[in-house]
Structure 1
Amino acid sequence: MSSSPDEVLSVASALEMARNALDSKVGLVWIEAELFQYSGPHASGHYYFKLRDQDATVNAIMWRGKAARILNFDAQDGMQVLVQGRFDIYSPRGSLSFQVEAMQPLGVGSLAQQFELLKQRLLSEGLFEADNKLPVPVRPRRVVVITGQGSAACADIVSSFEESEAPIDITLCYSLVQGAQAVDDLIDALRTAVKLQPDVILLSRGGGSLEDLWSFNEEKLVRAIAACEIPIVSAVGHEIDTTLCDFVADYRAITPTAGAQFIASGWLDSLQQLSSLRHRLLAQSPQSAMQRLRNRFHQAESRLAQAPIDALAQAKAKLLRCANSLLHTGPAVVLADYQARCRTLGARLAVANPQQLLDRGYALVQVEGQEGYLRKASEAKSNAKLLIQLSDGELRATVE
């Protein structure tokens, strides 16, 4: 018969020893696993699910208070995750479980999958509908900017507002924009911004990777933006970056600078109109009218001073033209012109003188008692008496 054992433990004591050994020997560890039978929180607020891989499965628990701090993404059944925690033994049932203290999606691929899953779920709820969006004021007077302190995005936004010269009162509300605490910090900043009662809230940060921008994909922040009663302009990342905050915001700008320019753009037309009115008022002011009259007086004064000189020059020019005209139309010139014309007419008369024709052997024949000279023999009738004029006298004849 065997001897009695030196120490006999109860089941509870044995399990407590095993529990302590697990805690001291294994302690806090990271596990890569698949979420299995994961369906969200229990009625108590705690999460009960399993972690598994191809070789083993273990029960997992995430307590309500811990989940509120660490669950910053939309976990789904079947998702690959990294979890940190400790093994524990539940004495009443003697069951082993893994108590989760941290959890994150595994890799960019999982983040992209998580992004699409949450996007589709929120889309199905109508959170991104245009009817739910608030109109952004055309000419806001007060704007609260939520952004990282000392960030390039903050500097770009301030510079853009200053360059626009728009009469906008800018309040900077700083927040963490990356990391585990960023979501809660952004929500707190949003609450602070709402209390200031601005016309517009500009939510902004610079570009980055999907992991860097993940805070702006968190469901808590997206729902806070959707519930906000003040218009929100989302200007997160660069043109290629898209976050769920962009979908739910009342307006999405592709960069922080573009967000500031959009908010100030409504003032540009008004400022241009004011500038035009200012120039018109200045042009119609008494000072401007006096200056125009002063200019006209100086111009008239200059013309008066120049008028005698111009008149004298014109008179001199007219005298010169008259002198030249007299030189060309004096008495001698006129007489010579008339003599030339007389000679021309005399020559023409000499050519037409009938006597010259008679001297050349021609004769002029006419019927007595009739005027005009005969041109053809048929013009003289039989027995007509003719008068023939030659160069040295006249002859009479009768037509037979």
Structure 2
Amino acid sequence: MSEDRYLTVTALTRYMKRRLETDKHLKDIWLRAEISNFKHHSRGHMYMTLKDDGARIQSVMFAGQNKGLKFVPENGMTVLIRGEIGLYEPQGQYQLYIKQMEPDGVGALYQAYEQLKEKLEKEGLFSPEHKKPLPAYPEHIGVITSPTGAAIRDILTTIKRRYPIVKVTVLPVSVQGERSAPSLVHALSYAEEHDFDVLIIGRGGGSIEELWSFNEEIVARAIHRVSVPVISAVGHETDFTISDFVADVRAATPTGAAELAVPAQEELQHRLAQLRNRMQYVISQSYRQEANRLAKLRGSYAFRYPEQLLRQKEIELDKLSDRLARAGTTAVSTRRQHFTTLVNRLALVHPGKQVQNYGQQLAVLQNRLQQAMVKRHEREQQKFFHQINKLSLLNPLETMKRGYSISYKQETLLKSINQVTEGDDVQIHLADGTIDCIVKEVKEDTNG
């Protein structure tokens, strides 16, 4: 058999690759399938397995195709896919290269809306504790919207009608298209750096595609970063965007946003009239009370009989003067007695007097100490002589003077005949010297 009939694996794989890539039916495939084993690579490519009840196929959507996705694919999600079949040569495996993908049964934009809403809600961007209160009487309002739409006309007309004294600055932006989201973010950053009391951001109604700029994550986070209270007014009353949830207050319409931003001058005028009436009532009541007090003062004894009152006060003044003089004399006498007492007490504790007293006490104590030392010396001397006498009685030298001796064998004290034998050298110590001896015989005391 000829060797030329055998193909290499590489040749076979390349042949299969060419056949798949040249089949026009495999160049534009439309699939409905479930996603599993989804992986979003760090380089941007998306790898996944597409499956149904009977089969599965490995698939990839490169970064160039998936960057325009409005939603994030997830495991278990059913999707509608357009792509083409290719073969990955190193593994000899055919796979699907995805060109387009969207959720099955729900639009991609709606899917992206729900995913972003869930993500931001978990992060706390919608939490009530982040909501800032609107100022009661704003001085400067920023309006972020298209300068040519109906929304800006409604907002400006409503503000001018309700609160014409407020300053309004329009921050023009694009509210639709690819550049609209960055335009909104730029306007919010500008507003943060300038002096605004409240911001209105929004546009008129439209489809979800037309309102999509207000569902972008960068816009939502920019609204959350702004320190100025933000009113979101996007679309009609039934339209809800991510911006509505992040903003401090959501208005159903642009006109509603203007009504929330400023008070109505009619209401302020009515309230002002009420305050004016209350002030006039309070002033009138105060005037009547003070008039009554004045009338009472005019009818009092002091105003009717001033001379008699003056005489009475003169007498009271004399009495008070006498009491003050007596109190002063008593106080001086008391202070003088107290001073004398302190002088006497001070004399008793004068340092010179204390030194004299302590000198006398010291002489007495020194005399007592000297007598105690003499007596103690006599007692100790008697005890010392007594101990000397006792030691003399116990001194072996004294005993030896009376005719006794002590025997040693090689510096060992002899206490028994059993310690020596005939011929041993023995030293006998007497009171006046030592005798070296040789044992000639050892005899046991038969009497003892």
Cα distance in 2 for partners of 1:250, 1:36 equals 39
Query: Per the alignment, do residues 219 and 57 of structure 1 end up closer, same or farther by CA in structure 2, a change over 3 Å counting?
Result: farther
Tell me the residue number matched to 1:104. Answer: 102
Tell me the residue number matched to 1:59. Answer: 58
Gapped runs of 5+ residues in structure 1? 277-400
Q: CA deviation at 1:143?
A: 0.6
Tell me the residue number matched to 1:132. Answer: 130
Query: Per the alignment, do residues 64 and 212 of structure 1 end up closer, same or farther by CA in structure 2, a change over 3 Å counting?
Result: same
Q: CA deviation at 1:258?
A: 0.8
Q: CA deviation at 1:37?
A: 2.9
Cα distance in 2 for partners of 1:71, 1:166 equals 47
Confirm or deny: 8 A CA contact 2:175 2:203 kept in the other structure.
no
Q: CA deviation at 1:250?
A: 1.7
Q: Which amino acid aligns with 1:38?
A: F
Cα distance in 1 for partners of 2:28, 2:224 equals 38
1:153-164 to 2 correspondences below 5 Å: 153-164=151-162
Task: Report the 3-state secondary structure (helix = DSSP H, G, I; strand = E; otherwise coil) of the residue aligned with 1:59.
Answer: strand
**Taking CA–CA contacts closer than 8 Å with sequence separation of 6 or more, which of the two structures ends up with the larger relative contact order?**
1
Cα distance in 2 for partners of 1:170, 1:271 equals 25
Tell me the residue number matched to 2:15. Answer: 14
The answer to whether 1:88 aligns with 2:86 is: yes
The answer to whether 1:36 aligns with 2:36 is: yes
Identity %: 32
Q: CA deviation at 1:269?
A: 6.9
Task: Report the 3-state secondary structure (helix = DSSP H, G, I; strand = E; otherwise coil) of the residue aligned with 2:237.
Answer: coil
Query: Per the alignment, do residues 171 and 211 of structure 1 end up closer, same or farther by CA in structure 2, a change over 3 Å counting?
Result: closer
Q: Which amino acid aligns with 1:191?
A: H
Confirm or deny: 8 A CA contact 2:215 2:242 kept in the other structure.
yes
Q: Which amino acid aligns with 1:17?
A: R
Q: Which amino acid aligns with 2:45?
A: H
Cα distance in 1 for partners of 2:153, 2:106 equals 30
The answer to whether 1:188 aligns with 2:190 is: no
1:92-241 to 2 correspondences below 5 Å: 92-108=90-106, 115-116=113-114, 118-138=116-136, 139-147=138-146, 150-164=148-162, 165-177=164-176, 181-182=177-178, 185-196=180-191, 197-198=193-194, 199=196, 200-208=198-206, 213-241=211-239
Confirm or deny: 8 A CA contact 2:175 2:184 kept in the other structure.
no
Cα deviation code 1:29-64 (max 9, x no counterpart):
54333332335x233333222233344422222333
Cα distance in 2 for partners of 1:104, 1:15 equals 30
Query: Per the alignment, do residues 144 and 94 of structure 1 end up closer, same or farther by CA in structure 2, a change over 3 Å counting?
Result: farther
Task: Report the 3-state secondary structure (helix = DSSP H, G, I; strand = E; otherwise coil) of the residue aligned with 1:70.
Answer: coil
Tell me the residue number matched to 2:27. Answer: 27
Q: TM-score by structure 1 length?
A: 0.54
Tell me the residue number matched to 1:385. Answer: none
Cα distance in 1 for partners of 2:152, 2:85 equals 45
Cα distance in 1 for partners of 2:38, 2:265 equals 52
Query: Per the alignment, do residues 125 and 3 of structure 1 end up closer, same or farther by CA in structure 2, a change over 3 Å counting?
Result: closer
Structure with more of its chain in helix, by fraction = 2
Confirm or deny: 8 A CA contact 2:140 2:166 kept in the other structure.
yes
The count of aligned residue pairs is: 269
Cα distance in 2 for partners of 1:152, 1:61 equals 45
